[in-house]
Structure 1
Amino acid sequence: MWAKLALKLFSREFKRGELTVISAAIALAVLTVLTLSMVTDRIGQSIAQKSSAFIAADRVLASNHPLPEEFLSKAVQSDLKTAQITYFDTMLFANDEMQLGSVKAVSANYPLKGELKIKNSLTAEAIATKRVPSPGTVWLSESVFYSLNVDIGDQVELGAANFIIDKVLVEEPDAPFNIFSSSRRILINHNDVASTQVVQPGSRVFYRQLYAGDESDINAFYQWLKPNMKENQQWYGVKDRQSPIANSLNRAESFLLLAGLLGIILAAVAIAVSAKRYCERQYDPVAMMKTLGGSRATIRKIYLLHLTLVCTMSVTVGLLVGFVLQEIAANYLAQSMASQLPAAGFKPWLTAISTGVICAVMFSIKPLLDLFDIPPLRVLRRNLGERLLVSKVHLGMSAVTVFMLMWLFSNNIKITAILFASTLLLIGLLFALSKVIFGGGRKLGLSPGNSWSLAIASIQKRANVNAVQLISFALAIKLLLFLIVLKNDMIADWQSQLPADAPNSFLVNITESELEPINQYLAAKNILVSDFYPTVRGRINAVNGELVAREVSLQDNEKKDEEARSGIGRELNLTWRETIPNQNELIAGQWFAKNATAEASVEESMLDRLDVELGDTLTFLIGAQSFDAKITSVRKVNWTTLKPNFFIILSPDVLADFPATYISSVRIEPQQKRDFSELLRTYPTVNAIDVESFVKQIRATIEQVSLAIGFVLAIVVVCGALVLISQVQASLGERMQEIVILRTLGAKGRLIKNATLYEFLLLGSIAGLVAAVISDIALFIVQRQMFDLAGKLHPDIWLIGPVVGGVFVASLGYLMIARTMRKNTQGLLRSLA
């Protein structure tokens, strides 16, 4: 009996539109979370897959010792593609010339991700290829051709084997980005390593195994591999490398995660407002049912069934619409990125369904309980039940629900706490502000019959409702401003790291006698060049007279001295300068004075690694000579500028007597490549390291990340607009009553329209101002804690926030009630009835 009544009542209310608000809000929550989750998941996978070219695979297993073949066999059984790389340095001989080069021996499947670029001659155009050198042939980088004075088809001697030069090696997807490493690149087939007889016991050799495949297969393989790995073996992906691309990917992931979190907050606000409003509209029907003998249990069953039906329908609609939206988005982004986006997993679906169900239940349960407590006497006394309008329990449950959803979605308690705390601060400030403003509306003394007077009177009359609306408006504006400013700051930071004139090559191993003529040649050819830095390799041997632990060799079974002070364990590239480099920021101490003696400037991370501070003394060892230098300053270094950077810079007097080579970065335009090649021919001992491909890859990835961020931002903006719509719609019935009363009292249509417009303008401006300030504070914290940005305040949005908030809310609110205002009084009364 009760089920039939519940279904009939549900059908009637659904036709009347009583359930549309809460249904739309739940569907909005589901489609928002599903769309954001699926789009961010697919974009993240796509960017990660493309960026895997930086390591030529999805994952790499690295070691300084031979790796078991068993690993490769198991990977093949796990449906993974595999490849092998062996690195070593050796001498190359040809035409009575010799050259030390870096040999890279690769198996047939290399590279698993990305492409090699080669040339058929020194003057030919570069072409992409997936093949590797055939056995008995070798590919050499351009600088090796100049050093050995050889050409395609010539023979070179590498160890005990002879090789035919087949191609010019232009680009490797996983070339090491180390400006102090050799630029003399040599690529051979992995099967030729044994014939060279270079690799002997005790040789310095590096081994890599490459793996590529589905993420699930890789993870399953790693679960098998992990217990079998030794301490001297390292497993990593592209995001684990300390490089500009890894930083960009991690920042992009954090932003997309943040956007998802803010989408959940917006959806939760829409559901909370809508559920409360729906229950308030049912006060009269419940009172009528109780008057006619309906029991509390029956009423409870009816409305719980309504909630179940609404939740089921809304979640289903939200999933369908969300899936369609993300497919449209994915197709658009796939065209823009020139690649098909991978399919999303099951997690976005589970997240969306869970969000819809949890929000529907948790935000509705307290209003429903209040609904069941409505007394039958409300039929005669209409004010009964108003004390239930604001419930601290409901607010508390809503807050806890939002926090738990954010935490579950992000799995990051720090960022969840920052966003949640800033939101609570915003709500608290706005609630207090609304009491002051709305409570003082009558004291302004504005004249009757004035639109501003009517607007302020309307705001004061609905003080509680407007306070809730003000909070919702400000929350939506705050989240939108937060994402927009963060997006702009991130992209600006990326662009500052890689400006249009960023260096694309490095000159290394320049002697002091070559310094002046090379500098003059570059100036004559209008080639942009950075400062020349002298470099000397040295080791930190002691700190304040206490010896540091030296690097041990596991191969020789040496043991680390556990009692010795921790050090670097390797030689560092040291330099000296009179002035601080442009890409460095002094954060503590003083830079070298003109007559500085034995002083050192240390990069901030090195300060932590050595566990030292300003005033400590470092002892350096260069060859057999040692010297001391006192730490007088600490620098923050931007390692992504593609310019020479150093952990330690010494005052000029310290290294003046040591022989040094110089290093610099240059910008080579396409039309200057011939001039640059001529420079290398003239000075064959100078190494040129081309990073043009590296720069292009970073720029391409950043463009894709920026596009993804922009699209996700657009989704969140739409969600914010829908939250504002739900708030305005919630007060539509009361506004219709006011319009009827004002028209009955003779108010003109223009007066009513202007008053409504001014009311929304005031609400939006106040919301925008507070939202801008709180958003900027939260943004400052998040930039420093989550994105490793410098963090700064943005006073300009304090002005933009009120203007945009006022215009946006006024326009949206006015458009929504414009149709209501066009109705005559009789039509409005019929609608209210």
Structure 2
Amino acid sequence: MWVKLAFKLFAREFRRGELTIIFAAIALAVLTVFSLSSVTERIGLNIEQKTSDFIAADRRLSSNHNFDPALLESATGYGLETAQLLFFDSMLFANDELVLGSIKAVTSSYPLRGKVIVKDSLTSEAYEAQSVPASGNVWLSEGMFYTLNVDVGSSVEVGAGVFTVSKVLVSEPDAPFFSLSGNKRVLLNYQDISLTQAVQPASRVFHRLLFAGTDQQLTDYYQWLKPQLKSNQNWQGIKDRQSPLGENLERSERFLLLAGLFGIMLAAVAMAVSAKRYCERQYDPVAMMKTLGGSRQVIRNIFLLHLTLVTVFSIVAGLAIGFVLQHIGANYLAQFMGTELPAAGLRPWLLSAFIGVVCALMFSLKPLLDLFDIPPLRVLRRNLGDTLAISRLHIAFSLITIFVLMWLFSGALVTTLILFASTLLVIVILFGLSRLLFAAGRKMGLRPGSSWSLAIATLQKRANANAIQLISFALAIKLMLFLVVLKNDMISDWQMQVPADAPNMFIINIAEQEVAPLQQFFEEKEIPHEAFYPVFTGRIDAVNDEAFARRVSKQEGEEQDEEARRGVNREPNLTWLTTLPEGNEIIEGQWFSDTSSDNQGEIEVSVFDGWRDALDLKLGDTITILVNAQQIKAKVTSFRTVDWGTIKPNFVMILSPNMAGKIPVTYFSAAQLQDKHTKAVSQLLQRYPTISMIDIKARLEQAQSIIAQVSLAIGFVLSIVLVSGALVLISQVQASLAERMQEVVILRTLGARGRLIKLATLYEFLLLGAIAGLVAAIVSDIALLIIQQQLFSVAGRLHPYIWILGPITGALFVAAIGYFMVANTMRQNTQGLLRKIA
């Protein structure tokens, strides 16, 4: 019986538009979450996919000994693509020239991600290789051509084998970002390793397996692999690399996460406001139903069914509109970036539907309970039940729900807490401020009959409702200001770390006597360049004369000394400097003392903070560095943070200037080369064949691409937030339309002119918007300062311009939308308004 009545009432309410409020709110929440999460996920996947190109795979497994063949067999069983690599050094001989080259032997499936770029001759155009070198052939980097004085088609000896040089190797996706091997690189077919006879049981070689597949396939495979990994085997993805690309990828994910959280907050606010308004508009129908004998149970069932139906319909509509919206947005972004965005997974669909259900349940629960308590006597006394309009319990439910939804969406507790706490601060400040301002309205001394007096009197009359409106307006403005600062300032700060004129070429293996001629060459050709840094490699052998555990041979059955101190399993590039380099900051200790330049004084060292825990270091410790067979002892005098995202060479350890002359070194620099310099640089390499150049243009382009994609994504989010914010404001203004009609009728009856009423209404919205904008701007800037320091690990700074932008934008935004909503009411005559009120 009640079901039939419920459907009849549902159809009538829907036709009258009573349910459109809550329908639009849930649909708004769903489409906002879906479109934001889909676009940010697709851009995030695209960024991660592009950065994976730089390790030539999605994951890689590294080792200094042979892999068990079962690893590759199992990977195939998990549906993964694989490739196998072997790195070793070997002498190359041709035309009476002998040079040590860095050999990379690859299987036919290499690379799994990215491109190998080659040329058919030194002067021809570069293009993407479709295969690896054929058996019996090698590809040499350009520097090797000059060093060996060979051409394409020449023969060259690699170890004991003789090979034909068939291509010029321009670039590889997984080439080292900065390595002393430079451009003395050779690409070899994996099947030809035995021909070189350079790999023997005692040879120093480096093995690598590459894997590509879906995240689920990779995760499943890693779960199988993890128990079998040896201590000297390393599983890596792009995020695991201590490199500019890894840093930029992590930073981009933080930006996209912030952008998505803003959409969640605004959608939740819209839902909370609209659900409460819908229930308030049902007070009279419920009172009438109770008067006619309707039981509480029947009424509860009817409205719960209504809520279920509207939730289902609105979720379907929100998903459909959100899908179209994200498709249009993603296509625009893809076209603008000249790329194809990967498809999003199921997460946006499931997350959006779940949030729609949670919003409908949690934000409607308390208003519905209040609705069921409406007394029948309200039919005669229309003010009964109005005391239920503001409920602390409903506010608490709403806040808890918003926090849980944000945490669910982000999975980052710290980020969620910062944004949520700043939102609570806005609410508390505005609620208190509204009470003070509106209560003091009559004491401001404004003359009677003025528009300002009428506006302030109206604000005072609706103090509670205006406080809620202020909070809603401020939250919308706060999110907009957040996104404006993210897009215009923080993204720009990030981009400034990779300026357009940054060096795009590293020049290494420079002998000391070649520094002056090379510097002269750069000046003559007007090529911008960096200083020349001394560089050498060394192994950290001991701390305070306590030796690190030595590597053991698993093959020979040796066991690791569990009590020995652990070190790091690589030899980093080291240098000595007199001044702290750009992008480095001392966080403990001090830079080198004056005595550090004394050749007889104690050598000092500044250590990257990330190695402090790895080596268990503290200030004053003495580090022993093994350089070739020579031991160098240095005292730790400072720890530094290093910004690896600047696409510039950085060092984990920097020694004091009195290190000079104690060991042989080479020098390196960086330069900004253009296409017009190609011929001159080729001549330079012919003149100094031992010098190597590393092209990092692709890395710079990749970093700039990541920044551009994040900036576009935030711009897309900002456009959605603007629309969502406008809908929240419209919903709030609509809630007061009936009361405003009554006020207009009363004022006209008392003789007030239309201009006075219109100006008073406009001033009311201007004041609400300006107050909300000012508070939103100040709180937003404080929250942004914390986010910069905690989330992005940069020195935070305030943005005073939004303190002006906030009130002005808030006043104009709220006034424009608010006045537009009530303009129709102002234009109607008194008789028409009375008919509507009745």
Shorter-chain TM-score category? over 0.9
Q: State the distance in 2 between where 1:489 and 1:608 align.
A: 33
Aligned to 1:323: 323
The reply on whether 1:45 has 2:45 as its aligned counterpart is yes
User: 421-430 vs 207-216, which deviates more?
Assistant: 207-216
CA contact (8 A) 1:434 1:467 kept: yes
Residue 807 of structure 2 is aligned with which of 802, 808, 823? Answer: 802
CA contact (8 A) 1:245 1:701 kept: no
Aligned to 1:427: 427
Aligned to 1:699: 704
The reply on whether 1:286 has 2:291 as its aligned counterpart is no
The reply on whether 1:167 has 2:167 as its aligned counterpart is yes
The reply on whether 1:83 has 2:83 as its aligned counterpart is yes
Matches within 5 A, 1:88-237: 88-237=88-237
User: 94-103 vs 821-830, which deviates more?
Assistant: 821-830
Per the TM alignment, residue 370 of structure 1 is displaced from its structure 2 partner at its CA by 0.8
Per the TM alignment, residue 340 of structure 1 is displaced from its structure 2 partner at its CA by 3.2
Q: Which amino acid aligns with 2:727?
A: L
Q: State the distance in 2 between where 1:400 and 1:792 align.
A: 31
The reply on whether 1:534 has 2:534 as its aligned counterpart is yes
Per the TM alignment, residue 453 of structure 1 is displaced from its structure 2 partner at its CA by 0.8
Aligned to 1:386: 386
Structure 2 residue matching 1:140: 3-state secondary structure? strand
Structure 1 residue matching 2:502: 3-state secondary structure? coil
Q: Which amino acid aligns with 1:741?
A: I
Q: Structure 1 residues 345 and 650 mapped into 2: Cα distance closer, same or farther (>3 Å)? A: closer
Per the TM alignment, residue 832 of structure 1 is displaced from its structure 2 partner at its CA by 2.5
The reply on whether 1:773 has 2:778 as its aligned counterpart is yes
Residue 817 of structure 1 is aligned with which of 793, 800, 822? Answer: 822
Aligned to 1:600: 605
The reply on whether 1:712 has 2:717 as its aligned counterpart is yes
Q: Which amino acid aligns with 1:697?
A: Q
Aligned to 2:832: 827
User: 401-410 vs 137-146, which deviates more?
Assistant: 401-410
Q: Structure 1 residues 14 and 534 mapped into 2: Cα distance closer, same or farther (>3 Å)? A: same
Q: State the distance in 2 between where 1:304 and 1:47 align.
A: 44
Q: Structure 1 residues 180 and 790 mapped into 2: Cα distance closer, same or farther (>3 Å)? A: farther
Listed one character per residue, the Cα deviations across residues 725-748 of structure 1 (whole Å, up to 9, x for unaligned) are 222222222222222222222222
Aligned to 2:585: 585
CA contact (8 A) 2:116 2:129 kept: yes
Per the TM alignment, residue 569 of structure 1 is displaced from its structure 2 partner at its CA by 4.8
Aligned to 2:694: 689
Per the TM alignment, residue 814 of structure 1 is displaced from its structure 2 partner at its CA by 1.4
Q: State the distance in 1 between where 2:227 and 2:488 align.
A: 44
Per the TM alignment, residue 408 of structure 1 is displaced from its structure 2 partner at its CA by 1.9
Structure 1 residue matching 2:209: 3-state secondary structure? strand
CA contact (8 A) 1:529 1:666 kept: yes
CA contact (8 A) 2:438 2:463 kept: yes
Matches within 5 A, 1:565-644: 565-596=565-596, 597-598=601-602, 599-644=604-649
Matches within 5 A, 1:667-682: 667-682=672-687
Aligned to 1:760: 765
Q: Structure 1 residues 591 and 238 mapped into 2: Cα distance closer, same or farther (>3 Å)? A: closer
Q: State the distance in 1 between where 2:724 and 2:496 align.
A: 31
Q: TM-score, normalised by structure 1?
A: 0.95
CA contact (8 A) 1:101 1:182 kept: no
The reply on whether 1:455 has 2:455 as its aligned counterpart is yes
Aligned to 1:406: 406
Structure 1 residue matching 2:495: 3-state secondary structure? helix
Listed one character per residue, the Cα deviations across residues 74-122 of structure 1 (whole Å, up to 9, x for unaligned) are 4334443322221111111111111111111111122222221111111
Q: Structure 1 residues 612 and 83 mapped into 2: Cα distance closer, same or farther (>3 Å)? A: closer
Q: Which amino acid aligns with 2:464?
A: N
Structure 2: gaps of 5 or more residues: none
Q: State the distance in 2 between where 1:729 and 1:73 align.
A: 65
User: 560-569 vs 88-97, which deviates more?
Assistant: 560-569
Q: State the distance in 2 between where 1:624 and 1:129 align.
A: 42
CA contact (8 A) 1:503 1:668 kept: yes
User: 799-808 vs 595-604, which deviates more?
Assistant: 595-604
Per the TM alignment, residue 431 of structure 1 is displaced from its structure 2 partner at its CA by 1.1
Q: TM-score, normalised by structure 2?
A: 0.95
Q: Structure 1 residues 790 and 550 mapped into 2: Cα distance closer, same or farther (>3 Å)? A: farther
Aligned to 1:736: 741
Q: Structure 1 residues 740 and 617 mapped into 2: Cα distance closer, same or farther (>3 Å)? A: same
Q: State the distance in 2 between where 1:6 and 1:667 align.
A: 73
Structure 1: gaps of 5 or more residues: none
Q: State the distance in 2 between where 1:618 and 1:77 align.
A: 47
Q: Structure 1 residues 723 and 557 mapped into 2: Cα distance closer, same or farther (>3 Å)? A: farther
Aligned to 2:365: 365
Per the TM alignment, residue 366 of structure 1 is displaced from its structure 2 partner at its CA by 0.9
Aligned to 2:491: 491
Aligned to 2:268: 268
User: 275-284 vs 140-149, which deviates more?
Assistant: 275-284
User: 5-14 vs 812-821, which deviates more?
Assistant: 5-14
CA contact (8 A) 2:248 2:645 kept: no
Per the TM alignment, residue 499 of structure 1 is displaced from its structure 2 partner at its CA by 0.9
Aligned to 1:792: 797
Q: Which amino acid aligns with 2:414?
A: K
Structure 2 residue matching 1:665: 3-state secondary structure? strand
CA contact (8 A) 2:247 2:644 kept: no
Q: State the distance in 2 between where 1:294 and 1:574 align.
A: 84
Q: Structure 1 residues 334 and 625 mapped into 2: Cα distance closer, same or farther (>3 Å)? A: closer
Per the TM alignment, residue 628 of structure 1 is displaced from its structure 2 partner at its CA by 4.0
Q: State the distance in 2 between where 1:551 and 1:453 align.
A: 84
Per the TM alignment, residue 547 of structure 1 is displaced from its structure 2 partner at its CA by 4.2
Structure 2 residue matching 1:500: 3-state secondary structure? coil
Aligned to 1:472: 472
Q: Structure 1 residues 550 and 453 mapped into 2: Cα distance closer, same or farther (>3 Å)? A: farther
Listed one character per residue, the Cα deviations across residues 653-678 of structure 1 (whole Å, up to 9, x for unaligned) are 23334332211111111111211121
Q: State the distance in 2 between where 1:257 and 1:18 align.
A: 35
CA contact (8 A) 1:156 1:162 kept: yes
Equivalent pairs: percent with the same residue? 62
Q: State the distance in 2 between where 1:294 and 1:643 align.
A: 75
Structure 2 residue matching 1:169: 3-state secondary structure? strand
Q: State the distance in 2 between where 1:50 and 1:653 align.
A: 43
Q: Which amino acid aligns with 1:633?
A: S
Q: Which amino acid aligns with 2:183?
A: S
User: 531-540 vs 509-518, which deviates more?
Assistant: 531-540
Structure 2 residue matching 1:640: 3-state secondary structure? helix
- Indicate the RMSD between aligned Cα atoms, in angstroms: 2.2
Per the TM alignment, residue 454 of structure 1 is displaced from its structure 2 partner at its CA by 0.9
The reply on whether 1:662 has 2:695 as its aligned counterpart is no
CA contact (8 A) 1:171 1:693 kept: no
Q: Which amino acid aligns with 2:199?
A: V
Structure 2 residue matching 1:528: 3-state secondary structure? coil
Q: State the distance in 1 between where 2:568 and 2:46 align.
A: 37
Aligned to 2:350: 350
User: 355-364 vs 624-633, which deviates more?
Assistant: 624-633
Residue 755 of structure 2 is aligned with which of 750, 757, 766? Answer: 750
Aligned to 1:29: 29
Q: Structure 1 residues 760 and 502 mapped into 2: Cα distance closer, same or farther (>3 Å)? A: same
Q: Structure 1 residues 697 and 627 mapped into 2: Cα distance closer, same or farther (>3 Å)? A: closer
Aligned length: 833
Q: Which amino acid aligns with 2:788?
A: Q
Q: State the distance in 1 between where 2:34 and 2:625 align.
A: 57
Q: State the distance in 2 between where 1:651 and 1:60 align.
A: 36
Q: Which amino acid aligns with 2:113?
A: K
Q: Which amino acid aligns with 1:488?
A: N
Per the TM alignment, residue 338 of structure 1 is displaced from its structure 2 partner at its CA by 2.9
User: 4-13 vs 506-515, which deviates more?
Assistant: 4-13
Matches within 5 A, 1:551-566: 551-552=551-552, 554=554, 557-566=557-566
User: 277-286 vs 709-718, which deviates more?
Assistant: 709-718
Q: Which amino acid aligns with 2:538?
A: G
Per the TM alignment, residue 135 of structure 1 is displaced from its structure 2 partner at its CA by 0.7
Per the TM alignment, residue 368 of structure 1 is displaced from its structure 2 partner at its CA by 1.0
Q: Which amino acid aligns with 1:367?
A: P
Q: State the distance in 1 between where 2:76 and 2:818 align.
A: 61
Aligned to 2:728: 723
CA contact (8 A) 1:33 1:348 kept: yes
Q: State the distance in 2 between where 1:606 and 1:582 align.
A: 19
